[in-house]
Structure 1
Amino acid sequence: MAIRAADQIIHKAAWLYYTHGLRQDEVAKKLDISRASVATYLRKARETGIVNISTSTQLFTEDALAREVEDAFGLNTVWIVPLDLQALDAGAEVPALAASVFVSLVNRGDRVGVAWGRTVYAVADVMSFADLQDVTVVQLCGNLGAPYTQRPDQCTMEIARRLNAKGLNFYAPLALSSERLARELRDEPVIREQLSLVAGCDLALFSVGTIDTESHIVKCGALTPAEMFALRDQGAAGVIAGQLIDATGNLLDCDYNRRVISADLGSMRAIPKRMMVVQEDSKLEPLQAALAGSLCSHLVLTAAMARRLLDANSSGLSQKQDRPSL
């Protein structure tokens, strides 16, 4: 069916915005119209079904396995990539599902906190373009001085671009050279204000990192492999927003954490929707630590990881029940 002449401008605006990823001002310039007109055309495109910017995630939450994980760990919602879909492309299906879930969780006027790493960047890279109003995307931790493809500022600004939202980058490095310098920098008004924004977020997107040479804080040079292994011996179990947590999900008492500029875990726990995405098989122990510390309320993972998580939890409960009372 031919497109009516009156609708052609709507189709063109929608095509440039959703398919090519242009910002609203760029679409306006391209079509020689006002930005307000672009917003109107994009709204009409959604209302009339010309575009569909969201994919239903109901299929991934109705599985009995998802209910088991929710009940076992007290989570609000769990989305699980089934084995048949994961077999198609294990590295692509989890980020694709997570991106769809994330967009569905963002509401008008929300403040969204974003961490960093390979998983978060993969989610941002496949996220659909959404014309959300009055949304602000906040960086949860300091930046990296060395070149790194999944830097915190890149993750934050890419997600802000996808949501047509305002992005707020962190004006501080992730790890300082001394505790004193980190303490003084946290006291700077601009840094203190940025850190204070975190507790007021409505939604957060992050993953949990491993304690090994593949960890992003090793890859970016914040810690050497030898330092990471030493911290693992001290009880480090995972990485959240650039910070080391122990098996209980609390901040590890170590020099590295005291040199880090990042949102404190209390502020992160205060965020109502804390969406964690886990795709690597190596993240069982870090995920267990994050769940133990109530750092996650919404979870996206694979069916294989869900079963491992439940098996480990059942094993732990059985061991506690088998212990003789004193």
Structure 2
Amino acid sequence: MAGRDNSTSNRKLDLAARAAWLYYIRGRTQDEIATELNVSRQNAQRLIALATSEGLIKFRMDYPITECVEMAERLKDRFGLVFCDIIPGERRDEAPVAGIAISAAERIESYLSSKAPAVLALGTGRTLRAAVAQVSSMERPQHKIVSLVGNLTRDGRASPYDVAMRLCDRTGAQCYPLPTPVVADDIEQRKLLQSQRWYKTVSSLVLQVKASFMGIGEIGWGSPLHVDGFITDQELADLVSSHAVGEMLGWAFDQDGVLLSTAFNERLTAPPLIVPAERPTIIMGAGAAKAPAIRAALRGRLANGLITDETTAVRVLELD
């Protein structure tokens, strides 16, 4: 019975994909699709809606928007970036995660399209998880995907934002996770974890990466690092007292992009950030709360690539 249910579900998705292809690519009307697929017009409409809800449709616009291109060039010149993509701003307060995710997915795919074996490194976060979900399915077994941050929370739960395995599932690439908590209990535990053979393998791959993609977070009450349980109230208070404004892979830094010498940073299990960034190191994120952290990371040369929206880009330039 279970096999029959799966077969029916797959058949429905096949029809949904055909309907969506005919509608969006071939420009057929719903009546024409209904005739070609031998279904009712209402069913054709439902199949197209199903394709959208199941993520079978990915919308990407090739036409560059002048203001965004000009803003990207200003940021590249100001901070010496190797890559910058600014998506159109939205008339609302929430960050445009979907647009940033599509841009990041396109960039990730550009590296994965190479036939020569390459190593890509990934951080973590909501936006990066959304980006990986937008990457087209492909078979790239020659590539390696390495995680730059631990995949466990403080209490041993798997992090919901670990993305390396997700990308490997979509691309067939070789996966090298970092099976550690993001933050060790003490320095001795951190040293023990980093002395393991698998950790040294990950560290060696980090030095070979073609490009790195990571989210960026603000430091403050209610910030993702705090809400998701990766940092305690006391640790957060200590970072705020140390004038931390942002973090990448957990590494906290001040308004000038200088990594802080704090007890929290000393217990991070993530490989250290390379400063200044040498290979393409692309951060992604948007929103008024993240603008100071983005500006600081670029100012301190912690990253040399950026994907954000034009509203945040304007704010970053104003802060600088």
TM range (shorter): 0.7 to 0.9
Matched, 1:244 2:244: no
Q: Which amino acid is the alignment partner of residue 59 of structure 1?
A: P
CA spacing shift, 1:267–1:287, aligned 2, 3 Å = closer
CA distance in structure 1 between the partners assigned to 2:187 and 2:202 by the alignment:
19
CA distance in structure 1 between the partners assigned to 2:191 and 2:159 by the alignment:
28
The equivalent residue for 1:82 is 88
Matched, 1:72 2:73: no
The equivalent residue for 1:150 is 160
Moved more, 244-253 or 279-288: 244-253
Query: Aligned runs of 1:290-309 on 2, under 5 Å?
Result: 290-309=297-316
Residue 92 of structure 1 is aligned with which of 95, 98, 101? 98
Matched, 1:132 2:157: no
The equivalent residue for 1:105 is 111
SS state at 2:64 partner: helix
CA distance in structure 2 between the partners assigned to 1:129 and 1:89 by the alignment:
26
Matched, 1:59 2:64: yes
Matched-pair contact (CA < 8 Å) for 1:210–1:286: yes
Matched-pair contact (CA < 8 Å) for 1:238–1:286: yes
Instruction: Report the CA distance between 1:85 and its aligned residue.
Output: 9.3
TM-score, normalised by the number of residues in structure 2: 0.73
Q: Which amino acid is the alignment partner of residue 310 of structure 1?
A: L
SS state at 2:274 partner: helix
Residue 213 of structure 1 is aligned with which of 210, 221, 226? 221
Matched, 1:279 2:289: no
Moved more, 218-227 or 160-169: 218-227
CA spacing shift, 1:137–1:214, aligned 2, 3 Å = farther
Matched-pair contact (CA < 8 Å) for 1:60–1:79: no
CA distance in structure 2 between the partners assigned to 1:225 and 1:89 by the alignment:
25
CA spacing shift, 1:200–1:268, aligned 2, 3 Å = farther
Matched-pair contact (CA < 8 Å) for 1:209–1:286: yes
Matched-pair contact (CA < 8 Å) for 1:172–1:191: no
SS state at 1:96 partner: helix
The equivalent residue for 1:310 is 317
Instruction: Report the CA distance between 1:163 and its aligned residue.
Output: 2.3
Q: Which amino acid is the alignment partner of residue 80 of structure 1?
A: I
Matched-pair contact (CA < 8 Å) for 1:60–1:80: no
The equivalent residue for 1:163 is 171
CA distance in structure 1 between the partners assigned to 2:105 and 2:248 by the alignment:
19
The equivalent residue for 1:195 is 203
Instruction: Report the CA distance between 1:83 and its aligned residue.
Output: 3.1
Q: Which amino acid is the alignment partner of residue 116 of structure 1?
A: T
The unaligned stretches of length 5 or more in structure 2 are: 1-13, 22-56
Q: Which runs of 4+ in 1 moved over 6 A?
A: 84-89
The unaligned stretches of length 5 or more in structure 1 are: 1-11, 20-51, 314-326
SS state at 1:281 partner: coil
Instruction: Report the CA distance between 1:226 and its aligned residue.
Output: 3.9
Matched-pair contact (CA < 8 Å) for 2:216–2:246: yes
Can you list the C-alpha shifts for 1:30-72, whole angstroms capped at 9, x where unaligned?
Answer: xxxxxxxxxxxxxxxxxxxxxx999575726872111111111
The equivalent residue for 2:188 is 180
SS state at 1:269 partner: coil
Q: Which amino acid is the alignment partner of residue 288 of structure 2?
A: D
CA distance in structure 2 between the partners assigned to 1:84 and 1:236 by the alignment:
28
CA distance in structure 2 between the partners assigned to 1:110 and 1:268 by the alignment:
22
Provide the aligned length of Structure 1 versus Structure 2: 264
Matched-pair contact (CA < 8 Å) for 1:245–1:252: yes
Q: Which amino acid is the alignment partner of residue 120 of structure 2?
A: V
Can you list the C-alpha shifts for 1:174-211, whole angstroms capped at 9, x where unaligned?
Answer: 11111112122212232222222212111111011110
Matched-pair contact (CA < 8 Å) for 2:277–2:304: no
